[in-house]
């Protein structure tokens, strides 16, 4: 039986950044096909009545410490929020769809998360997005034109609506079949679910 792991993410989510550093190896260990599913976290929050942790002062303090612990645990560069955070991620998420369609999704997601959370590049800047597109082998002018097409805009909206309809309320959101897992810290349970298939 074919196993699929769906990874719903938004480039503005630091916890999805953490998860993105682990999902490829997890999928390989479990023999699962990994599907990258960009969506709009702000629209998910709005649809579900959830809110960003940074809006709650106590959560913000905890979250920054927690992100530091997780980056150390994963062997990633020390964590700090980009000065532009929360940055506009709409175009970056659309560009991920273009990269996925071109067979370059894995590299684009990894490079873009690194640009946002390690290099502190502004992912809301089209010049930055053009450079990232070029780095993974996309034609930047064509890719940036394509993110403005109705098909790409609708695909991102459809991913978002689908995630909400299936119960997602935050990012990262993982589906193994119709079983939902929310959060980077749920990856051990994601792996168990995949192994049990």
pLDDT value for 1: 57
Sort 150 into a burial class: Cβ within 10 Å, 0-12 / 13-18 / 19+.
exposed
Q: What is the CA radius of gyration of the chain?
A: 16
This prediction has a pTM of: 0.96
13 carries an active-site annotation: yes
pLDDT of residue 135: 98
CA dist list (Å): 173 to 80, 164, 185, 194: 22, 10, 11, 15
Residues 6+ apart with CB under 8 A from 3: 30, 31, 32, 33, 176, 194, 197
CATH superfamily of 4-195: Glutaredoxin (3.40.30.10)
Other residues' Cβ atoms within 10 Å of the Cβ of residue 145: 12
Parse the chain into domains and list their residue ranges.
4-195
Local mean pLDDT, 10-residue blocks, the chain (197 residues): 92 98 98 98 96 84 94 96 91 98 98 97 96 98 98 98 98 98 98 96
Q: What's the pLDDT at 52? A: 85
pLDDT of residue 103: 98
- pLDDT value, residue 51: 86
**From 13, 20, 21, 89, active-site residue:** 13
Asked if the bond preceding 86 is cis, omega within 30° of 0, the reply is yes
Q: Which pLDDT score, from 0 to 100, does residue 53 have?
A: 81
């Amino acid at each position: 039986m074919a196993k699929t792991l769906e990874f719903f993410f938004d480039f503005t989510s630091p916890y999805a950044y953490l998860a993105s550093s682990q999902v490829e190896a997890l999928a390989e260990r479990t023999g699962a096909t990994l599907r990258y599913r960009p969506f709009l976290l702000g629209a998910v929050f709005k649809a579900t009545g959830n809110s960003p942790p940074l809006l709650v002062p106590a959560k913000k303090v905890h979250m920054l410490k927690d992100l530091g612990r997780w980056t150390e645990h994963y062997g990633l560069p020390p964590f700090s929020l980009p000065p532009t955070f929360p940055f506009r991620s709409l175009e970056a998420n659309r560009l991920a769809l273009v990269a996925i369609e071109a067979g370059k999704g894995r590299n684009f997601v990894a490079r873009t998360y690194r640009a946002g959370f390690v290099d502190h590049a502004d992912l809301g800047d089209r010049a930055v997005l053009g450079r990232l597109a070029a780095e993974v082998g996309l034609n930047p002018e064509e890719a940036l034109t394509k993110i403005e097409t109705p098909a790409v805009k609708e695909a991102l909206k459809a991913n978002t609506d689908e995630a909400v309809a299936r119960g997602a309320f935050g990012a990262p959101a993982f589906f193994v079949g119709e079983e939902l897992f929310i959060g980077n810290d749920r990856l051990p349970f994601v792996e168990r679910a995949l192994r049990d298939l």
